[in-house]
Structure 1
């Protein structure tokens, strides 16, 4: 399925340790978190459905159910097409910062390092 998924942008991420308020264990590829833009209020702007697909040290997509790295890169997919166009095409730029969210908890910080298919027509 990942070979057919559109990847809108790429981030460099860091999963917080449990002592920093993060997860007890690292997730597996196939994990679905939400996205919160740095500076946004969770209860005003809310979360976005933007899913990560994680890479290994060589930049290849990890197989599903393989544990991700604490620090690495992920290709991000905006799941809702209408919001992709109306919101994320304007907000996502190289250097944009955000968080992987599990409910109201920030579990990882991320920064956009590359724009991929974000401005292309639906694939």
Structure 2
């Protein structure tokens, strides 16, 4: 089953990651998010902290490949997500940095709300289809 955002994006998945939504006491969201939420992205090792516009992650069941449809997403559990690099002009920048094992955070308003690690590169280095 396709995630709702997959209905309007023409781009294939760039990479997969394991992601843990932080608990509120860890500075996470007060309300648990839903699949397809729009977050910003930052590399864990960046000093000072820099944020990048990102597309909505698609959390999925790693066994079936089906998108996670339960609402809300579970907090403090490791989830699997498919991710796209949204900004075409930043694609080369992210290609130079993202590898399996890269650590990152999802952010809202400058706050880290989830932590993650890239597990598999899929289409990041493939040419994008032309409209």
Q: Secondary structure at the match of 1:69?
A: coil
TM-score with structure 1 length normalisation? 0.86
Q: Tell me the residue number matched to 2:53.
A: 49
Superposed displacement of residue 33, structure 1: 0.2
Q: Tell me the residue number matched to 1:107.
A: 113
Q: Structure 1, residues 40-80: CA drift from partner, whole Å, max 9, x if none?
A: 122xxx211222111136432234x8422332011111111
Q: C-alpha distance in 2, partners of 1:92/1:53?
A: 18
User: Could you tell me which of 78, 88, 91 is aligned with 1:84?
Assistant: 91
Q: Tell me the residue number matched to 1:68.
A: 73
Q: Secondary structure at the match of 2:84?
A: strand
Superposed displacement of residue 121, structure 1: 0.4
Q: Secondary structure at the match of 1:122?
A: coil
Name stretches of at least 5 consecutive residues in structure 2 with no aligned partner.
none
Does the 8 Å contact 1:6/1:77 carry over to 2? yes
Does the 8 Å contact 2:11/2:128 carry over to 1? no
TM-score with structure 2 length normalisation? 0.81
Name stretches of at least 5 consecutive residues in structure 1 with no aligned partner.
none
